[in-house]
Amino acid sequence: MLAHPDQLTATLISYLDKGDINAMTRVIADLHLKPGLANKIDTQLDYFRRNAHRMRYDVYKAKGWFVGSGQVEAACKTVVAVRAKQSGMRWTIKGLDPIITLRALHQSGRDHLIWDQHLSQTYTAQAA
- The answer to whether residue 10 is domain-embedded is yes
CA distance linking residue 99 with residue 105, whole number of Å: 10
Do 43 and 74 lie in one domain? The reply is: no
pLDDT in tens, 1-44: 455 778 999 999 999 999 899 999 999 888 888 888 888 888 88
Do 56 and 93 lie in one domain? The reply is: no
The domain of 97 spans 70-113
pLDDT in tens, 82-123: 878 888 888 898 988 888 888 888 888 888 887 765 555 555
Do 9 and 30 lie in one domain? The reply is: yes
Choosing from 62, 79, 101, the residue where a domain stops is 62
CA distance linking residue 66 with residue 74, whole number of Å: 12
Neighbours of 116 (CB within 10 A): 7
CB contact set of 33 (below 8 Å; sequence gap of 6+): 41
- Which whole-number Å values give the CA distances from 87 to 7, 65, 78, 84, 107, in the listed order? 50, 34, 16, 9, 21
- The answer to whether residue 74 is domain-embedded is yes
Do 75 and 102 lie in one domain? The reply is: yes
pLDDT in tens, 33-88: 888 888 888 888 999 999 999 999 999 989 988 888 887 788 888 778 887 888 88
